[in-house]
Amino acid sequence: MKTIILIGALGKMGQAALTGLGNHKVITAGRSGDVDHLVDITNEDSIHALYEHVGHFDAVINTVGYCEYADFTQMTQEQWMTTIMSKMMGQINLVRIGQQYIADGGSFTLISGILNTKPIPYAIADATTSGAIDTFVKCVALEMPRNIRINVVNPTVLIEAWDVYGDMMPGFEPVSGKLVGKAFERSVDGFITGEVLIVDA
């Protein structure tokens, strides 16, 4: 049994990840609500505090990455920076800071999303930062110390989120949270590293 910190546990992707973690002790974290630890992934001090409060852990799964959605021609620098500081730098900082605390042979699993390979209107910031995270994971895996592994789950839209995103995504087929949970399970319980785990219909 591993001790896993699941960040964004109350969100739709967090709930999907949870379905794959039944064999483990899961410590939930998020920005608000009924979680074991509060954390804001855009704040470095908050990330340090999370890891210090938890103490020993074998894996970190992050499912947080706030994105602004707008037409590219209307996107402001502020909207770009909000997305970059959450979905990109927030996740990079979870790894950059977390590698100091995580157990030997531990693993990080991040979140991206299918829109960097199947673009749709209004989602340029999500697509760009998802692509950045896929690249980050493939390359930083080569630099991780102490046999620490890192992967990213890159799913299409969840059935559980289809009522929110379905109208924006004609021609897409949603997948179940349970199927996406299998990708998180494969990342945590397997031996792979540097992989982009695409979950598409």
Ligand X SMILES: NC(=O)c1ccc[n+]([C@@H]2O[C@H](COP(=O)([O-])OP(=O)(O)OC[C@H]3O[C@@H](n4cnc5c(N)ncnc54)[C@H](OP(=O)(O)O)[C@@H]3O)[C@@H](O)[C@H]2O)c1
| Enclosing H/E stretch for 18 | helix 12-18
Supply the minimum distance, in Å, between the C-beta of residue 30 and ligand X: 5
Interface pick for ligand X out of 5, 21, 28, 42 (rule CB under 6 A): 42
Q: Is 181 in the site for ligand X (CB under 6 A)?
A: no
Among 5, 17, 18, 41, binds ligand X (CB under 6 A): 41
Q: Are 182 and 15 in contact (CB under 8 A)?
A: no
Q: Does 64 bind ligand X (CB under 6 A)?
A: yes
Question: Residue 124 region, left (φ>0) first, then alpha (ψ -120 to 50), else beta?
Answer: alpha
| Residues 6 or more apart in contact with residue 152 via CB below 8 angstroms | 109, 110, 111, 112, 133, 134, 137, 195, 196, 197
CB 7 within 8 A of CB 173: no
**Nearest distance, CB of residue 147 and ligand X, angstroms:** 27
Is the CB of 146 or the CB of 164 nearer to ligand X?
Answer: 164
Q: Does 8 bind ligand X (CB under 6 A)?
A: yes
Residue type, 49: A
Residue with smaller CB distance to ligand X, 19 or 104: 19
- Tell me how crowded residue 116 is: count the other CB atoms within 10 A of its CB: 20
Which is nearer to ligand X, 105 or 150 (by Cβ)? 150
Q: How far is the CB of 107 from ligand X (least distance, A)?
A: 18
Which residues within the stretch 81-110 sit at the binding site for ligand X (CB under 6 A)? Answer: 86-87
Task: Kindly tell me which residue out of 4, 5, 6, 11 binds ligand X, with binding defined by CB under 6 A.
Answer: 11
- How many angstroms from the chain centroid is the CA of residue 90? 10
Q: Which residues bind ligand X (CB under 6 A)?
A: 8, 10-14, 30-32, 39-42, 63-67, 86-87, 111, 113, 126, 155, 157-158, 161
